[in-house]
Amino acid sequence: MNQNETGALIRSLRLEQGLTQQKLADRIGVTDKAVSKWERGIGCPDPSVLGSLADALGTEVGTLLSGKITPNEKNSGNMKKTLFYVCPCCGNIIVSLSEADISCCGKKLTPLEMHKAEEHEKLTVEIIDNEFYISSDHEMTRNHYISFAALLADETVIIRKRYPEWDFSTRFPRIPYGILVWYCTNHGLMYQYLRNR
């Protein structure tokens, strides 16, 4: 940790939050003199306060330790390039338009790699009542099931959460063209193209 860089980052984030040194100190249980020392690069926060300091400043501990905020490149906004993250502990689904530092249940998550479905893996798509009706005879047991399905279009992402021991079926609005994505707990993230026939 570079004390000067971390100190400058603490000051910058504190000012963004509209906090005085005293208010920040009160939130994390230290003195305003301690905050002043950190910001001047004379000392660094004790590891015991790093978590609460990061929370108070709206950042992560790793960012504080590095002393730098590295912004992602601007995204063109094409939803078809959406990234999906799934927590292996709780099953939480997180969606991002570009790579991000994402964690859940104390674990850093990496984006799922999307695989094009083979013909025998594809979900069944029918048009019913002017909607896409999606179904599958995929196994839906507690240990092996489709956790979610999503429809990706240029400006739209729609996610439908599914649960084990239910039959798999869902509906999506009928659109001219999109990508149907689904996540199998055993085989990962798959996709197929969806065309308005």
**What are 118's two structure tokens?**
């083979």
pTM of the model: 0.68
Give the model's pLDDT for residue 79: 67
CA distance 50 to 108: 18
Give the model's pLDDT for residue 154: 79
If the chain, 197 residues long, is cut into consecutive pieces of 10 residues, what is the mean pLDDT of each piece? 89 92 94 93 90 90 84 59 91 88 89 94 93 94 94 89 92 91 95 82
Delineate the domains of the chain, giving CATH numbers in brackets.
3-66 (1.10.260.40), 112-195 (2.60.40.730)
Give the model's pLDDT for residue 76: 54
